[in-house]
Amino acid sequence: MFNIDHPLKLPFLREVAIVMMTCILFCLSCTVKRTATPTPLVRLNKIEPPILKKHAEKMDVAAEFKKVFEASHLTFTYPEQIDSFYKRNEFQPVLVSRFMPDNQLRTLEDYLGNANVHGIDPEVFSVSRIKKLLDNYNDKDSRRKEWEVYQDAMELELVIADAMIKYSNALQFGITDPARVYINYSSPTLRPDSMSIIQVFEVRNIKTYLDSIQPKDKQYLALQKALKSEKESDSIYRTLMVNLERLRWKNKPTADKYVLVNIPEFMLSVIDSGKVVLRMKVCVGEKEVNKETPQLSSMIYSVQVNPVWNIPQSIASNEIITYAKRNRYYFANNDINVYRNGKLVGDPEAIDWQSEETGSYSFKQQPGEQNPLGRIKFLFNNESSVYLHDTPTQSPFKQSIRAVSHGCVRVEQPLNLAYALFGKGPKFDQIKKAMANGYPRAKYIGLPLQVPVCITYYTAWADKKGVVHFYKDIYGLDDVLYKQVSFPFSQLY
């Protein structure tokens, strides 16, 4: 397309003309007169080989570029951010002119084409479209009209911008928003903001940048390795795929010490400085409306030794009052105080629960051996009013599937958990003594330093040797997530 032998008097102009063999569109763009505007985010190099000036005179490149953008506007995941960037740069193309001479766009194509190593369909990033546009652009024997080449280059610029943003955000934040995927989810989760979206326009070396955003977490790398070797089972592939997505979410504790509960594994771990210092079995909520244990993150701030159980209204209505209808001494036998409109009822046996309107009643079970919270509960703020707690019933810990609670998490070794949180000292001694007291009284003991707790849902998890273990999807959340990550990227936000 270029005549390299065109007479150029200065050597540096000859070099510029050679560069422009792969940058036709951007030669034109530099002839557009710039107005006095604030310094743009990206400084563009002016390239003005005389051979193309005659074409520039016939064409308003910025205007044509804007037309291509507006035609593609609705197909982009982040049209506002892309539009804002190019407006600030007077609709001058950036990425193709920067990366085409070094063949970096083929590197980008390779990375996008291998997105399946992350459990992501490469077509989420329009890789086929990018390949076709790159092939067309680099086809030296093509007899297409010059304007068709320009138009392809304009479209390539925008498709690359959109794909780089999506790939960057996918690896750093995940391709879904878990708060939109799950109803019972309340873990604070970082999502892409404007700065993270436009950072791709600052990239100078594609390979260096894409390597830098590859997740480095050991769990992620172990699941990636398992995904790569999985060739037989679609169900295992899908399980690895959705758990890689969960690992990309920015919802992980950053403190040195934290408590991690994995619902499908029915296990609790205390992690300190990257090492598991305590592991124990737990029981979680049944798969039933209002009984599933939620995914959440919070801070354990206190324990209540010999706790009082404020019986939730749903349990009171569905269970407690039913027992009272069968046995009027049920409340006395189980150390349950009855309150009407907040006032203690002195003689609950006199209440006819068969005919009484129960909505004005509330119930509190006092500390003791029959209290389902056992000898201690671990408190943290959350919207679902759940907590970690002891239990007088130990038999469920012998079961492999331990989804038996009303939503709270029952812990197998509560005293060991208290020691892991408080450490050696007078507060732990106080807890130990109070739990052993034959005449228990409820007592709050605050943690000197709050400890994060993260209740998660992973159906694939690697042990310290990198061996991946799989767990039953007890709440059916893998299927919910798989449907979301299988959709085109643009439909997920």
The pLDDT, as a whole number, for residue 462 is 96
* Residue 442 counted as domain residue: yes
**Partners of residue 261 on adjacent β-strands:** 268, 455
* Residue 261 counted as domain residue: yes
Contacts of 482 (CB under 8 A, 6+ apart): 238, 241, 242
How far is residue 279's CA from residue 269's CA, in Å, rounded to a whole number?
Answer: 5
Q: Which CA distances in Å does 423 have to 268, 426, 428, 432, 445?
A: 18, 9, 7, 12, 13
Which residues constitute the domain of residue 332? 313-365
**Partners of residue 302 on adjacent β-strands:** 379, 446
| Same domain (yes/no): 319, 419 | no
| Same domain (yes/no): 396, 285 | yes
How far is residue 433's CA from residue 427's CA, in Å, rounded to a whole number?
Answer: 10
What residue ranges of the chain have pLDDT lower than 70? 1-59, 61, 73-74, 140-149, 487-493
Neighbour-count burial for 38-47, b at 16+ CB within 10 Å, e otherwise:
eebebebeeb
| Same domain (yes/no): 300, 377 | yes
Neighbour-count burial for 275-293, b at 16+ CB within 10 Å, e otherwise:
eeebebbbbbbbeeeebbb
| Same domain (yes/no): 431, 349 | no
| Same domain (yes/no): 430, 334 | no
Active-site annotation holds for 27: no
The pLDDT, as a whole number, for residue 141 is 63
The pLDDT, as a whole number, for residue 281 is 98
322, 345, 365: which is the final residue of a domain?
A: 365
How far is residue 85's CA from residue 195's CA, in Å, rounded to a whole number?
Answer: 11
* Residue 299 counted as domain residue: yes
| Same domain (yes/no): 317, 303 | no
* Residue 357 counted as domain residue: yes
The pLDDT, as a whole number, for residue 212 is 96
CATH of the domain at 295: 2.40.440.10
Number of structural domains the chain divides into: 2
The pLDDT, as a whole number, for residue 428 is 96
The pLDDT, as a whole number, for residue 444 is 95
The pLDDT, as a whole number, for residue 74 is 64
Four-residue CA torsion sign, 176, 179, 181, 182: positive
27, 283, 408, 454: the active-site residue = 408
| Same domain (yes/no): 433, 414 | yes
| Same domain (yes/no): 265, 321 | no
| Same domain (yes/no): 275, 292 | yes
389, 406, 454, 469: the active-site residue = 389
222-267 tens-digit pLDDT? 999 999 998 888 999 999 999 999 999 999 999 999 999 999 999 9
Tokens 């324990």 correspond to what residue? 303
* Residue 343 counted as domain residue: yes
| Same domain (yes/no): 356, 381 | no
